[in-house]
Amino acid sequence: RMDQALLLVRNELPAQGLRLAALSGSCHQCLYQFLAFIPPSNGSLRKPGTAAVMVDTQHPLTLLLNGSVGDRELCKIQYHFGEFGNYSLVVKTLSTSAKTVSCDLVINEGPINSYLPILFAFLVYMGILAVLIVGRLFMKIDPVRNWVYKKLNPRETDRLINSELGSPNTTDSVSSDPTPRLWSTASRQRLRSLDTFRGLSLIIMVFVNYGGGKYWFFKHESWNGKTRVSSISHLLSRFVFIMGTSISLSLSSMLRWGSSKRKVLGKILWRSFLLILLGIIVVNPNYCLGPLSWDDLRIPGVLQRLGFTYLVVAALELLFTRAGAESGTLESPCPALRDILPYWPQWIFILMLELIWLCLTFLLPVPGCPRGYLGPGGIGDFGNYPNCTGGAAGYIDRLLLGEKHIYQHPSSSVIYQTTMPYDPEGILGTINTIFMAFLGLQAGKIILFYKDQHKQIMSRFFIWSIVMGIISAILTKCSKEEGFIPINKNLWSISYVTTMSCFAFILLLLIYYLVDVKRLWSGAPFFYPGMNSILVYTGHEVFENYFPFKWKMQDSQSHAEHLTQNLTATTLWVVISYLLYRRRIFWKI
């Protein structure tokens, strides 16, 4: 199978059998897991004892061979097996008189290069990009451009809503409040970089959710740390961050055009309710397995967390918003911090939330678990706390929501062999999600306070990235496992939020520079799904198991087939979002 290799163990020792155990290199402080018993060789027939086992190829393994007599350790081998490889481990004595045992690993059949499909897909997409660039160059030729425009007659769609998670649409505001009628005719400049940022995060998320070609490195880390994908763009953290940025811009726009705070609060409450409802009823259940049932309905989820986070952060901004942000008329004792100091009540509120998270995480007594436990449970921590997955975070979810109403297959179940349900979108982690959105809110305030001052905006993005990076380095001690608070996506630890915010500020800086400052990139194709993010996210979940997003494969153990299917499905959502954009169709909440 994928991510596996065949290991044939040959025992040429006549006197004793062997016990083979393995330990994954990604499993921190874990117990060795028994793989097979290899019988002793038959000396009279000169026939060695054999056993065939499947070994994991995702991470390096440590193989441990113990003799059945006295359970003595005979040898220990560290090796990173290759996918679909065929190996032999020969155990024998060096001579008939010596008691020294040798363990030789032999490659019978070399592993395949499972990364070639990724290279091929990269070349295909680069070819498509080259064709588009050449086509754009041809479009600069007047006769060609005039002919194409005459044939296609495209409609301009530059005037659009701000964002699904950050701003009400224009028609809603006009119909609900007769005062800002000029809104419908005023030309509003839109930051394409925000939609590009959102769309980039969304498309990578869709690809990963569809399977990522069944490559292990496209999956989330089993517990502590982060994989390549989460370093580039993890859905929820990036989406939450840019949602906070959009909240700042959209609320400022609504209030500037005369909407009352009471009406804006009503819109905030309605949108939060719709997001939570979408997450529970539409995205959550798998209707292919039968009708919706409360008995095993998962209550937490991505949209549920987004909805609640939006409610808290938007209400917090609405409550303490200050007039004059865009005009720069706000007075501050320290001009360099005029985008921070006037909002000190918001910072006090966020710090209080973080204090609550720290107290619950490290001081709440959890039955059968050490206080402040942050581990995965299972076979981790040498198997001492098998039912303590997630510590206080898991305990609170199981206590308040019930075991059947949270996620049943956490990422820790594979490597750490956990049996307890644990929800990565649980209650306690939502506190730090609010913190992440608040940092995105700060990015929006920077854009408002320093409008059209590109150097000021980019320098502040960079400073915030450095500050978040320093905090992460302190909390983690620059290590994966040994820090005060390790980076952990499942727990949504503070260090995870500061690390993802560090990357988010840098990524937003780069996209803002390329798209809105220098205009070297239009943001395509990520701009289009960024404009219809709720539709793309909900659609990719609802139609995940339907053609043309999924079909029956000839070889389910082929990375190439899985990668083709997942990339096709992801590309289809980009095409759909582009077509909707051209027809000015946007699903807004």
Looking at residue 103, which CATH number applies to its domain? Answer: 2.60.40
Give a yes or no: residue 200 inside a domain. Answer: yes
**Using an 8 Å Cβ cutoff, are 11 and 48 in contact?**
yes
Residue closest to 132 by CA, chosen among 548, 566, 578, 569: 578
In this prediction, residue 170 carries a pLDDT of: 38
Helix (H, G, I), strand (E, B) or coil at 586: coil
- End-of-domain residue from the set 88, 109, 130: 109
Last residue of a domain, one of 77, 109, 141: 109
220, 234, 405, 454: which one is catalytic? 220
Q: Do 411 and 262 share a domain, yes or no?
A: yes
Task: State residue 467's pLDDT score.
Answer: 97
Question: Residue 392 corresponds to which tokens in the numbers above?
Answer: 């206080």
557 plus 454 within the same structural domain: yes
Quote the CA–CA distance of 473 and 14 in Å, as a whole number: 54
205 shares a domain with 56:
no
Range of the domain at 42: 4-109
Residues 552 and 419 in one domain: yes
3-state SS class at 427: coil
Q: 182 in a domain, yes or no?
A: no
Query: Residue 387: its pLDDT value, please?
Result: 94
- Whether 493 is in a domain gets the answer yes
How many residues in total does the chain contain?
589
**Annotated catalytic, 220?**
yes
Residue-wise pLDDT tens for the chain (589 aa)?
889 999 999 988 877 889 999 999 889 999 899 999 999 887 656 788 899 999 999 999 999 999 887 678 888 999 999 999 999 999 988 765 557 788 999 999 999 999 999 999 999 999 999 998 898 888 888 888 888 777 766 444 444 434 444 443 433 433 334 333 333 333 346 789 999 999 999 999 899 989 999 998 888 778 877 655 444 445 678 889 999 999 999 998 888 888 888 999 999 999 999 999 988 887 666 555 555 667 778 899 889 999 999 999 999 999 988 665 555 555 667 777 777 888 899 999 999 999 999 999 999 999 999 999 999 999 999 999 999 999 999 999 999 999 999 998 888 888 899 999 999 999 999 999 999 999 999 999 999 888 889 999 999 999 999 999 999 999 999 998 889 999 999 999 999 999 999 999 999 999 999 999 999 999 999 999 999 999 999 999 889 989 999 999 999 999 999 999 999 999 999 999 999 999 999 888 7
- pLDDT of 32 reads 92
Q: Is residue 184 part of a domain?
A: no
Which long-range contacts (C-beta less than 8 Å, at least 24 apart) are formed by 405-408? 405/296, 405/297, 405/298, 405/299, 406/298, 406/299, 406/300, 407/298, 407/300
DSSP reduced 3-state for 193:
helix
- For residues 318 and 282, the answer to whether their CB atoms sit within 8 Å is no
Final residue of a structural domain among 109, 141, 174: 109
At residue 98, the pLDDT reads: 55
Q: Answer for the pair 234, 424: CB distance below 8 angstroms, yes or no.
A: no
pLDDT of residue 100: 79
Q: By CB neighbour count within 10 A (0-12 exposed, 13-18 middle, 19+ buried), where does 37 fall?
A: middle
Q: Are residues 561 and 456 in the same domain?
A: yes
Determine contact, residues 503/487, Cβ cutoff 8 Å. no
Determine the Cα–Cα distance for residues 586 and 31; give it in Å rounded to an integer: 52
Contact between 513 and 487 under an 8 Å Cβ cutoff? The reply is no
Q: To 5 degrees, how large is the angle CA 288–CA 289–CA 293?
A: 115
| Residues near 186 by beta carbon (within 8 Å), at least 6 away in sequence | none
Structure tokens at 150: 């005459």
How far CA 446 is from CA of 249, 341, 378, 552, in Å, comes to 10, 13, 45, 49
Rounded Cα–Cα distance for residues 470 and 463 (Å): 11
Instruction: Give the pLDDT score at 392.
Output: 96
Asked if residue 152 belongs to a domain, the reply is: no
Does residue 199 share a domain with residue 98?
no
Structure confidence at residue 180 (pLDDT): 36
In a domain, 156, yes or no: no
Token readout for 433 is 């999600």
Strands 4-11 and 73-79: unpaired
Q: In sequence order, what are the residues at sequence separation of 6 or more whose Cβ sits closer than 8 angstroms to the Cβ of residue 207?
A: 218, 566, 567, 570
User: 107 forms bridges with which residues in the sheet?
Assistant: 87
Note the pLDDT of residue 62.
Answer: 94
The predicted model scores a pTM of 0.87
The answer to whether position 25 is within a domain reads: yes
> What integer pLDDT is reported at residue 15 of this predicted model?
77
The tally of domains found in the chain comes to 2
Judgement on whether residues 197 and 64 belong to the same structural domain of the protein: no
Identify whether residues 105 and 196 lie together within a single domain: no
Residues 100 and 213 in one domain: no
**196 and 102 share one domain:** no
529-550 as b/e, with b when 16 or more CB fall inside 10 Å?
bbbbbbbbbbbbbeebeeeebb
For residues 426 and 543, membership in a common domain is answered with yes
Whether residue 494 lies inside any domain: the answer is yes
Domain check: are 368 and 464 in the same one? Answer: yes
What residues contact residue 294 under an 8 Å CB cut-off, 6+ apart? none
3-state secondary structure 432-461: HHHHHHHHHHHHHHHHHHCCCCHHHHHHHH
Q: What integer pLDDT is reported at residue 327 of this predicted model?
A: 57
